[in-house]
A and B are shown apart, each in its own frame.
Chain A
Amino acid sequence: MPSAEPALFAAQALACARGGRLVFEELSFALAPGEALLLRGPNGCGKSSLLRMLAGLLRPAGGRLLWEGEAVAADLPAHHVRLHYVGHGNAIATTLTAEENLAFSTELLGGTGEHLAAALAAFDLESLASSPGRFLSAGQRRRLALARLVAAPRKLWLLDEPGVGLDRASRARLEAAIGAHRAAGGICVLATHGDVAVPDPLVIDFHG
């Protein structure tokens, strides 16, 4: 979907090397507010590496990232506070309850707690709020990790296979959350094997 708006978040000729092997190179994209970028491809093709790179956790082997035209690498801390990263780990402490876990991540990420109830509701977690993390199923843990997105509003969502373990109803909730985020001018980048549907995305196809 070509956009007339200027790019908010862009990558120019990114390259990624892992363990001395070039995973991808010359990767570029430009995202305007409200746009979504879908990363597709077989396992091990660099989707997760790209997401970690976009999160500023992994240094690019080449190329650069731009936010509002400014180089991200020039001020990484400022980049870190405008993004959400949901990776393979759900970051849930097994001895804390679901609500304690969510309240902690929200405060850590600079949220105020005013969206806490809405975040629990958005992923149908109210009835599990006082269950300890170790009693949550894989799908429930995933939902709790995703609830962070709503609990602490941030501009850029980086989601690594967010649909893993989710049932159909939960996937619909995730899709609704992504839709609301985009409608509010946020950007979403997600790696998926097709289980999460996003309308009008930009797509990058990786080849193993």
Chain B
Amino acid sequence: MMRPLLAVLRRDLRLARRRAGETLLGVLFFVLALSLFPFGVGPAPDILARIGGGVIWVLALLSVLLSLDRLWQSDFEDGSLEQLALAAVPLELVVLAKCAAHWLSGGLLLVLVAPLLAVLMAMPAEAMLVLPLTLLLGTPTLTLVGSIGAALLLGARRGGALVALLVLPLYIPVLIFGVSAAEGALMGLGGTAQLLILGAMLLVSAALAPFAAAAALRLALE
């Protein structure tokens, strides 16, 4: 049961490593876009620190959104998707393995660079811990929910822009609770409740998104 799933995970991580340029594009976007903010809003530390949490979260969200097309597109084009559908394990589990590999080579990198970005935005020291924690809970949800949208629009022309339209409304709750968890903790109001909600959203999307994405993939194969 596990062998085919580990094979998917290993293959996708290996592909991500060999296509490092493409893989790192998301992180690069994250860092570069954020470095524009001190120029745009001015270097006043109090303003940067005030908007830091929100800006970092929005950029992380956009970065995940940008990377969604590499989740299914190439497998769809070269015929691998049919093989995934005929795998020795249900397609739903294959979706989960693909999302895991996608997050490990995308969302996880965002979590890892987030502390540096918190410094860039002149945020307080605790932010270097709190912000990555919220991203750690939030970005896998973004990948899972995004996998549905990306699967639904397989084969559509200009799919990228449509995926954004389809998926962004579903990202809003994650964004709201992600930012308010970070800010709550930083202002000493406590962000535990928001963190728990983020965790709950992750669990729900991990349980439901594979079914929705697998159904969308089967439709794309028809």
A residues in contact (CB < 8 Å) with B:
52, 55, 57-59, 77, 80-81, 83-85, 87-93, 95-96, 100, 103-105, 107-110, 145, 148
Contacts and interface: CB of A to CB of B under 8 A. Distances in A.
A95 B84 CA distance: 18
Nearest to A141: B78
A93 B11 contact: yes
Given A77-B90, A109-B88, A91 B83 contact: yes
Nearest to B76: A89
Given A77-B90, A85-B86, 12 more contacts: A55-B82, A80-B85, A81-B86, A83-B86, A89-B78, A89-B79, A89-B80, A92-B78, A93-B78, A95-B18, A105-B83, A110-B87
Contacts of B88: 81, 108-110
A91 B7 contact: no
Interface in B81-97: 82-88, 90
B54 to A, nearest CB: 37
B222 A57 contact: yes
B8 interface: yes
A58 B222 contact: yes
Contact of A95 (B6, B7, B19): B19
Contact of B221 (A57, A88, A105, A148): A57
A96 B15 contact: yes
Contacts of B7: 103-104, 107-108
In the A-B complex, list the 5 residue pairs whose CB atoms are closest, starting with the nearest: A89-B79, A110-B88, A107-B7, A95-B18, A91-B79
B18 A109 contact: no
B126 to A, nearest CB: 41
B26 to A, nearest CB: 18
A43 B83 CA distance: 24
B50 interface: no
Given A91-B82, A93-B78, A110 B4 contact: yes
A88 B77 CA distance: 10
Contacts of A52: 221-222
A108 B83 CA distance: 8
B110 to A, nearest CB: 23
Contacts of A103: 7
A96 B7 CA distance: 13
23 contacts: A52-B221, A55-B86, A57-B218, A58-B222, A83-B86, A85-B82, A85-B83, A85-B86, A89-B79, A89-B82, A91-B78, A91-B80, A91-B82, A93-B11, A96-B11, A96-B18, A107-B3, A107-B7, A108-B4, A108-B8, A110-B4, A110-B88, A145-B79
Given A93-B78, A96-B14, A109 B83 contact: yes
